[in-house]
A and B are shown apart, each in its own frame.
Chain A
Amino acid sequence: MDKYINAPVSDEDAKGLRAGDYVYISGTIYTARDAAHKRMYEALNNGEQLPIDMKNNIIYYMGPSPAREGRPIGSAGPTTASRMDKYAPKLLDLGLKGMIGKGKRSDAVKDAIIRNGAVYFAAVGGAGAILSKCIIESEVIAYDDLGTEAIRKLKVENFPVIVVIDSEGNNLYETAIEEYKKGN
């Protein structure tokens, strides 16, 4: 089912999404991948503030290629989410409402998604050019020294994603594969 939501995402919107929904996101989202997550995790362990408020926000696991002149960002597709599994439950417990990436998640992440009424979206991996076109503004807001891995604030319009794990723990990767499995 096609759905349109705004980011930051409300508790109700997040709860209303179901695994398999095709969702267009508009609004503000943040990027963070391996190095930024490690740094945020260390900051929390040291009792420091995070550079972004997690509450009702969406993190996009993405490190873009450099922008050409006149463009806000370069190629901008998702990276593999499982590398953030170690850090994600802590961020979800702080109010993070959505994650956009690609690939499987751990049981600990799934449990934290259910516990917090959150959602895990997949963007199509390797579709970095088309996804770049849905990003209207991009600004590095923290960890500038990390280059492509810095935290960016993005303004997106109709950014296309698919719900993989919903707030009830339904997992599209598991159910859809069963549907098309033959023999074996």
Chain B
Amino acid sequence: MRTINVETISENIKEMCIEATHYLSEDMKKALDNSYDKEESPLGKQILNQLKENLEIAGNDMIPICQDTGMAIIFIKIGQDVHFEGGNLEDAINEGVRRGYVDGFLRKSVVSDPIIRENTKDNTPAVIYYEIVEGDKVDITFAPKGFGSENMSKIYMLKPADGIEGVKEAILNTVKEAGPNACPPMVVGVCIGGTFDKCAVLSKKALTREAGKHSDIPYVRDLEIEMLDKINSLGIGPGGLGGTQTAFAVNIETYPTHIAGMPVAVNICCHVNRHSHRVI
């Protein structure tokens, strides 16, 4: 048994909020550089260059990469040998988000009620996914999500007869419809299978996978490669202003599902696909 004070969780989450909104992870920087090299449209190249400069300024001057510093999404894996003390874990996570967004000069983009729409002024509450795993560590992934791209995401309750062709069509249609709204080049997170809810969560989790790293399942890996190629043939390009670089990566997860169904969730993220990871 290992005892962790929840204050440690708050402080780590605060730091992760600030880190993720000012510095992109190495895989995402590399994806941007690769796209810049490959882009065929002059305007597209100019936009990608602007995004590279934007990253430099963000880190050097501590100005968030994007003003939409997102809703705080947290995937937390808790080792079953961990014992938390010092307060309620969920409160501590939200306290970390509060400190990160207030002290870090991040935008507060959360309203307390979807209809009444009053800003909570500290970007809480976070959306938290807990997982209990073996061991005595706490593994946290912080992935703030902007809504330009979130609004363009979709879930399809396909049927088994739709097959893999149906999946391809669902992904392509979602990206086509998203077009310039989702701030391309985008990262496309997909889940095939599970239930309505599980499928949506895993499509979001897919976005936190390292860009350029493929699934271990051979047919899924092939599908990721094929879909990236098809998406980049759509012509949407950087900023939606035409070009060959519409997506950096297509990350697909799968999950067992029911004999009668085949849910497909497509969660789109803009080029600012922020994720910060720590093991405590």
Residues of A within 8 A of B (CB): 20, 22, 35, 62-68, 71, 74-77, 79-80, 82, 102-104, 122, 124-130, 132-133, 147-148, 160, 162, 164, 172-173, 175-184
Contact = CB atoms under 8 A, between A and B. Distances in A.
A124 B241 CA distance: 10
Contacts of A103: 148, 179-181, 240
Interface in B214-238: 230, 233-237
B14 to A, nearest CB: 16
The 7 A-B pairs with the shortest beta carbon distances in the complex, nearest first, are A176-B242, A181-B235, A103-B181, A125-B183, A180-B235, A75-B67, A75-B64
Contacts of B244: 180, 182
Contacts of A173: 179-180, 240-241
Given A65-B107, A79-B68, A184 B234 contact: yes
Contact of A160 (B50, B64, B107): B50
Given A103-B148, A126-B183, 9 more contacts: A122-B241, A125-B148, A126-B66, A127-B51, A129-B55, A130-B50, A147-B121, A172-B241, A172-B242
Interface of B: 40-41, 43-44, 46-47, 50-51, 53-55, 57-58, 61-69, 105-109, 117, 119, 121, 148, 151, 172, 179-181, 183, 230, 233-237, 239-244, 270-272
Contact of A66 (B41, B105, B119): B105
- Which of A80, A122, A175 neighbours the largest number of chain B CB atoms within 10 Å of its CB? A80
A148 B241 contact: no
Nearest to A176: B242
Contact of B105 (A65, A130, A162, A180): A65
B50 to A, nearest CB: 5
Nearest to A68: B105
Contact of B107 (A63, A125, A127): A63
Nearest to B243: A180
Given A102-B183, A126-B66, A126-B271, A74 B241 contact: no
Contact of B66 (A68, A75, A179): A75
Contacts of B271: 126
A122 B179 contact: no
A102 B236 CA distance: 13
